[in-house]
């Protein structure tokens, strides 16, 4: 449980960020879970009574979930002690709608959230069907709580289509899609949510459905907040986010006046394909050239996505030439689509084409932007 959380999207202006963690433990359900960061946080707590056996090591030495989930009911009352507004991520180290967390435990959470309207609670899940079923029952008892933001995680188009349909059927004041880690392109304006009619699509940002370009009907609800980011993991594991995918998703949100938050690149990020030695302090002498070349190699691209990455399973290639002095030749198909490099032990930053996209949904169709005061008012 960490007040003053480092999770960027919890830093909404006027609120104190907080990760509450009402339970510990989970189990993988899709590709986005493969290199989850959370077991590395939980392993430090296994010496506490009752918290052993939540994580283990796989054959490659990675920490992974065992499937054991430990509820921490004593934490459900913690928000009542906070009078100042907090933005609270409820479940960084578990899934609130895990089948291993009893429904009555979730109901106690809802009671706390109903009793503390000064806080905003963010709940993300990869169990959207169970979320829908439980929240419908809770809404009948508590109503739709305006301070509870419900969302799904979607790492690619397939899981966006699998999960967002259930989210749209879930009673919620604010609906969120978290595309982190973003492992492929995602188009939220053309989701095939009705499998029996593949010609139909849902535009959950523009709040309409039908045939793209000839929309039939408006949707009564849509997605209010889009979060996206890359994967942070060790070099052998981390999967790069493609810059085109990030640009396209941000552009979708902007075009539809939906708040968007670009959290981070993760361990991989765009890098210069060729670094000019004079740009890294080379004095023009033969003696200074090796040191300048070394500096160039530390910031230049080491890998790349090819222009046909979508046809190659999003596999990255190794750049086999120097990053300086014009010695790195273009790929046979032309310039690389995305030259990248790995950033050891740290995130590669949170700027997309030099811009920090840090927005939150505000009241009555507004967008709150970290770089703009007061609120930026938009009309839907």
199 versus 282: the higher-pLDDT residue is 282
Strand pairing of 70-71 and 63-65?
unpaired
**Confidence (pLDDT) at 328:** 72
pLDDT in tens, 144-190: 999 999 999 999 999 999 999 999 999 999 999 999 999 999 999 99
Whether residue 197 is predicted with pLDDT greater than 70 in this model: the reply is no
**Confidence (pLDDT) at 127:** 97
Please state, rounded to an integer, the average pLDDT across all residues of the chain: 90
Whether residue 375 is predicted with pLDDT greater than 50 in this model: the reply is no
Helix count (H) and strand count (E) of the chain?
6, 22
Whether residue 18 is predicted with pLDDT greater than 80 in this model: the reply is yes
**Confidence (pLDDT) at 196:** 56
Planar angle of CA 153, 354, 304, nearest 5 degrees: 70
Give the 3-state secondary structure percentages of the chain, helix then strand then coil, rounded to 5. Answer: 25, 25, 50
pLDDT band at 377; cut points 50, 70, 90: very low
Strand pairing of 214-218 and 303-305?
unpaired
H or E element: which one contains 304? strand 303-305
**Confidence (pLDDT) at 226:** 98
Whether residue 194 is predicted with pLDDT greater than 90 in this model: the reply is no
- Interval 113-133 mean pLDDT: 98
Question: How far is CA 195 from each of CA 121, 199, 201, 281, rounded to the nearest angstrom?
Answer: 32, 9, 10, 58
- Kindly tell me the sign of the dihedral angle through the C-alpha atoms of 139, 141, 145, 148: negative
Residues 6+ positions from 173 with CB-CB distance below 8 Å:
144, 145, 146, 147, 148, 149
Note whether 370 and 13 are within 8 A (CB): yes
pLDDT band at 309; cut points 50, 70, 90: confident
Q: What percent of the chain has pLDDT over 70?
A: 93
Give the integer Cα–Cα distance in Å for 227 and 229: 7
Whether residue 376 is predicted with pLDDT greater than 60 in this model: the reply is no
Helix (H, G, I), strand (E, B) or coil at 34: coil
Q: Would you list the domain boundaries of the chain?
A: 2-188+223-267+349-377, 270-342
Residue 134 CB-half CA count within 13 A: 21
pLDDT in tens, 200-255: 889 999 999 888 777 777 888 999 999 999 998 888 889 999 999 999 999 999 99
- Interval 45-51 mean pLDDT: 82
Whether residue 101 is predicted with pLDDT greater than 50 in this model: the reply is yes
Whether residue 380 is predicted with pLDDT greater than 60 in this model: the reply is no
**Confidence (pLDDT) at 266:** 93
Helix (H, G, I), strand (E, B) or coil at 376: strand
- Interval 284-302 mean pLDDT: 93
**Confidence (pLDDT) at 59:** 87
Tokens in use for 113?
Answer: 């959230």
pLDDT band at 379; cut points 50, 70, 90: very low
Let me know if 209 is exposed, middle or buried by CB neighbors in 10 A (0-12, 13-18, 19+).
buried
Q: What percent of the chain has pLDDT over 90?
A: 67
**Confidence (pLDDT) at 373:** 54
């Amino acid at each position: 449980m960490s007040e003053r959380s480092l999770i960027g999207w919890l830093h909404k202006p006027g609120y104190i960020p907080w990760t509450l963690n009402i339970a510990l433990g989970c189990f993988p359900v899709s590709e986005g879970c493969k290199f989850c960061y959370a077991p590395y946080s939980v392993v430090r707590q296994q010496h506490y009574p009752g918290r052993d056996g939540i994580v283990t090591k796989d054959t490659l030495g990675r920490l992974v979930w065992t499937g054991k989930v430990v509820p921490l009911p004593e934490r459900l009352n913690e928000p009542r002690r906070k009078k100042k507004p907090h933005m609270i991520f409820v479940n960084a180290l578990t899934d609130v709608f895990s089948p291993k967390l009893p429904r009555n435990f979730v109901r106690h959470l809802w009671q706390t959230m109903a009793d503390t309207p000064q806080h905003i609670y963010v709940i993300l899940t990869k169990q959207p069907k169970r979320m829908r079923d439980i929240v419908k029952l809770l809404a009948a008892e508590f109503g739709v709580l305006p301070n509870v933001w419900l969302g799904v995680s979607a790492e690619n188009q397939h899981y966006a289509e699998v999960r967002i349909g259930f989210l749209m059927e879930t009673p919620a004041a604010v609906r969120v899609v978290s595309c982190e880690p973003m492992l492929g392109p995602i188009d939220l304006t053309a989701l095939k949510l009705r499998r029996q009619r593949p010609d139909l699509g849902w535009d959950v940002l523009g709040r309409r459905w039908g045939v793209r370009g000839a929309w039939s009907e408006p949707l009564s609800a849509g997605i209010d907040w889009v979060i996206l980011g890359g994967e942070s993991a060790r070099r052998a594991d981390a999967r790069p986010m493609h810059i085109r995918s990030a640009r396209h998703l941000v552009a979708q949100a902007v075009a539809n006046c939906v708040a968007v938050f670009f959290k981070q690149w993760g361990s991989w990020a765009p890098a210069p394909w060729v670094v000019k030695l004079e740009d890294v302090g080379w004095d023009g002498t033969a003696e200074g050239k090796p040191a300048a070349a070394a500096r160039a190699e530390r910031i230049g691209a080491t890998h790349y996505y090819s222009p046909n990455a979508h046809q190659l399973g999003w596999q990255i290639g190794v750049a086999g030439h120097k990053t300086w002095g014009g010695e790195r030749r273009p790929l046979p198909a032309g310039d690389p689509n995305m030259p990248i490099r790995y950033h050891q032990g740290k995130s590669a930053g949170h700027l997309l084409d030099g811009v920090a996209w840090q927005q939150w949904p505000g009241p009555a169709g507004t967008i709150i932007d970290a770089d703009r005061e007061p609120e930026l008012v938009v009309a839907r």
